Amino acid sequence: MDMTERVSHNLYRSLVISMFTIFSAFWLYTYFFTKEQSDAYTLFTNTYGVFALIGGLFGIFAARKWGGFKSYLGKAILMLSFGLLFQEIGQLFYMYYIYVAHIEVPYPSLGDVGFFGSVLFYIYASFLLSKVAGADFSLKEHLSSKVEAIIIPLIILFLSYFFFLRGNTVELSQPIKTVLDFGYPLFQSVYVSIALVTYRVLRFTQGGMIRKDILLLLVALFMQYLSDFTFLYKTSRGTWVAGGINDYMYLVSYCLMTLAIMRLDGFLNKAKAGKENA
Amino acid sequence: MLDKYTQAVLKIIKEQESLIGPLALDLAKKSENIVFSNGAQVTINGNPIIALGDLVGQYNTLFGRTSVEVSKLAIKKSGESFTQEELPEILK
């Protein structure tokens, strides 16, 4: 690996890890030692999205080295990066509505273009990652993979139905809200199902140094799903608070995704350096 | 007119590029038995079966079984026919 590239790569990673440590310490302080809706809560809520911004921008540059739109892996990184950036767009709109326009629950709003858009990007990203991981081949050859490819989505769909969909009603007077009420849990279950099936398929890939890097991306996608799931669960029961545990989950999720993309970039640099350095 | 091994090498690199991008060509250029000249002109030095095996082996080390399966498909797509004896172990 070129020395300059190695130094800058390590620098970016150290920066993200240091920032994550500071944000985590700040959140712990806020959560345990300040009152809900304090200025510290507000500060945390309004700033942690910067991880999504950093990860998204880094990913767009990193994806170019993997061929960008011309390769499956390049496209997967681009989709994950767009997903992160759309999360940040959603965060910024919600921030505006809550703190500037003083709308307590800005749902549905322009912010949902960001949040729902990110779900669509994650669906396509998980599909592309499944291609890179060789899901097609495993599904053709292994009965256990076929069974899992049916059972996993069914379990996730059941969970979505049980926790979110069964209580939903179709409100014709609010078509966008109705579409989002059904759309969020359904579409989120699609990307996490593909990610989980791909995770199971990885056991048949018989090596490949990239395995761990793909695994980390899948873990990041799963963490994103857990965050989304918790958000829907808490908001549907009126227990969600800004700056609470769910916002910290989103911070972890953005950070994991950013580090996973950076790790893949490091993998590429090592692979390019080849035998002498790899 | 390119021989069938050269055709296969070019097709494999192209298919790997659709999976992993420009790294596919970078890795191919590291193969000892495959020589690139004038951009993308390819010559195979020595035993072509070993050259093919080394190339796919490089992809396999980094990207695992997917890259091997993609290489097998690439050979089918190249339109050239190979007997089992004409292929390296990794592609059988």
Contacts of B31 in chain A (CB under 8 A): none
From B21, B63, B69, residue closest to A74, measured CB to CB: B21
ipTM over 0.90: yes
Residue A70: pLDDT band by 50, 70, 90 thresholds?
Answer: very high
Query: Chain A: residue nearest B59 by CA?
Result: A208
Average pLDDT estimate for A186-208: 88
Work out the number of other CB atoms within 10 angstroms of the CB of residue A141. Answer: 13
Q: Give the A:B interface size as CB pairs under 8 Å.
A: 76
CA distance B23 to chain A (A): 7
Cross-chain Cβ contact A210/B19 below 8 Å: no
Determine whether the interchain pair A72/B18 forms a contact, defined as Cβ–Cβ distance below 8 Å.
yes
Interatomic CA distance for residues B92 and B86, integer angstroms: 9
- Top-confidence range, A39-43, A273-277, B67-71: B67-71
Within 10 Å of residue B74's Cβ, how many Cβ atoms?
A: 22
Closest CA to A90 of A192, A228, A226, A252: A228
**B65-to-A8, A133, A274, B89 alpha-carbon distances in Å:** 32, 8, 20, 14
Question: Are A208 and B69 within 8 A, CB to CB?
Answer: no
- Looking at chain B, the whole-number percentage of residues with pLDDT higher than 70 is 96
What's this model's pTM, rounded to 2 decimal places?
0.92
- For residue A276, pLDDT over 60 is answered with no
CA gap B1, B3 in Å, rounded: 7
